[in-house]
Amino acid sequence: MLDAIACNANFENDELLFADETASTETRLSTWPVLIVDDDAEVRQITKLVLGDFTFEGKALQFLEAASGEEARQIVRDRRDLAVILIDVVMESDRAGLETIDYIRNDLENEAVRIILRTGEAGQIPESEVIVRYEIDDYKTKTELTAGKLMATMLTALRSYSLLSKFSVTSQQLQTEIERRSRSEEREKAKSNQLAKTLQELRETQAQLVQNERMTGLGQMVAGIAHEVNNPVNFIYGNLIHAHKYVEDLFELIEMYQQVVGDRDSNVNEFKQAIDFPFIVEDIPKMFESMQAGADRIRDIVRSLRNFSRLDEAEQKTVDVREGIENTLTLLQHRLHVDNGNIPIEVSAYYGDLPHLTCYAGQLNQVFFHLFNNAIDALETRYKTTRNRAEPPQIWIRTQLVREDWIGISIRDNGIGICPAQIEKIFDPFFTTKPVGKGTGLGLSICHSIVVGKHSGKIECTSTRGEGTEFTIELPVVQ
């Protein structure tokens, strides 16, 4: 066997040219660690002699030796940078080499090192069994390893190891780059999310400022109108009773004169007939009743205006939710019709037995105002576009105690409804389902801000296109 390796030391016909595979001497920065495992010291010595001048990619070989499988395992544990292992099979045991290979691949999980199995007793270790069961890179009998073939085998092994090493480095670099980009993307995503959150907060703040300015102006105007109207209404209201009494006294006086004078004066009789005196006597009490009812109605409207604006109630106070709803409906009486006022909107209210609510009453009234306005708009749109007369326009109001210390308020209509895609954006600032010029997109955003932000409550919207929409509010009784 030794003669087989040495007989071609001059390489003769097996001589290989490695010039094309060798890099410039400038790249000679290290060596290729090669472990020779064989219990025959002469085999190890001849192998080093044959491969002593071998270079690949400008690097020479660095030889390490082991005379047994156990010794080889110790070296492999210490040297994770081994490039090639030339290993015998039969050493301290018949399968010492194979057991060492199994240890390297499975226990140490070293997949990089190239393993060349050399055996002098091939018949004892069938090649098919070795190739199937063990992860080796080449299988040679010692008798066929001439000097040239040994160098060719080493060249193939180192080339494979080099490619795997470069691939591993490239893979690691790619993994590092992927992780770097992933971290960069995460940072950019975090920045983007923060910017989106900031933008949303700015929009909400802008909407709140716009709405606050609008409602402050509206509240001041409403309070001013209520104050200005209240004085003359009180004057009228207070004098109606006296005026009614005076007219009754005059009628009684006329009756007394008529009893004394009778029908003797033709001029008086003609004038009574001309003015239809009996009708006046009958109608004047009805006129006073109508004026009294009108004055009562104006006083109710003024009271609703004052309660709705509540400019003097900036802090939280305990109120009756039903009163706030009814005051808001009073202000919207002029809108509770569709089809140019020909069809009235039916309002059905079901008020549960609720405790008084601690809240910002003026702001909560704004919520009711916006929700009722939206319901009326939806009903008008439905009756203008579908002309559906089969079902009258309706608004349902329901209040109830949903759980301990929480009240629920539901406002539902049978209007045009909202598309599912729009439901998700319904509370976004400046988003509106109405035509251009009809809505600002602030109303529902403000409702959400007041209910959720100011009162720590909940507001949800459910809708079916063509059937109607329901807004549900839940509020804690005590803030």
User: At which of 116, 145, 174 does a domain end?
Assistant: 145
Q: Is 335 part of any domain? A: yes
Residue 56: name the closest of 81, 19, 85, 26 by CA: 19
For residues 117 and 71, is the Cβ–Cβ distance under 8 A? no
pLDDT at 349 over 70: yes
Q: Is 258 part of any domain? A: no
For residues 15 and 46, is the Cβ–Cβ distance under 8 A? no
The CATH number of the domain holding residue 371 is 3.30.565.10
The CATH number of the domain holding residue 48 is 3.40.50.2300
431 vs 238, higher pLDDT? 238
461 vs 259, higher pLDDT? 461
pLDDT tens by residue, 75-116: 999 998 899 999 998 898 888 888 999 899 889 988 889 998
pLDDT tens by residue, 194-220: 888 777 767 666 666 665 555 555 555
Position 413 confidence tier, pLDDT thresholds 50, 70, 90:
very high
Q: Is 408 part of any domain? A: yes
Which tokens in the block code for residue 466?
A: 């063509």
Q: Is 190 part of any domain? A: no
> Could you tell me the CA-to-CA distances from 294 to 244, 298, 300, 308 in Å, in that order?
15, 6, 10, 21
Position 236 confidence tier, pLDDT thresholds 50, 70, 90:
confident
Note the pLDDT of residue 63: 94
> Rounded distance, CA 42 to CA 143, Å?
15
Q: Is 357 part of any domain? A: yes
> Rounded distance, CA 381 to CA 365, Å?
24
Q: What DSSP assignment string belongs to 191-233?
A: HHHHHHHHHHHHHHHHHHHHHHHHHHHHHHHHHHHHHHHHHHH
Q: Tell me the pairing of strands 32-37 and 84-88.
A: parallel
User: At which of 114, 145, 176 does a domain end?
Assistant: 145
What is the arithmetic mean of pLDDT over 305-323? 70
> Rounded distance, CA 286 to CA 276, Å?
16
- The number of distinct structural domains making up the chain is 2
Q: Is 91 part of any domain? A: yes
For residues 312 and 361, is the Cβ–Cβ distance under 8 A? no
User: At which of 145, 174, 203 does a domain end?
Assistant: 145
Question: Residue 107's domain spans which residues?
Answer: 2-145
Note the pLDDT of residue 19: 33
Position 387 confidence tier, pLDDT thresholds 50, 70, 90:
low
Q: Is 42 part of any domain? A: yes
Which tokens in the block code for residue 311?
A: 């400019």
> Rounded distance, CA 168 to CA 95, Å?
31
Q: Is 461 part of any domain? A: yes
Phi first, then psi, for residue 5 (nearest 5°) are -75, -40
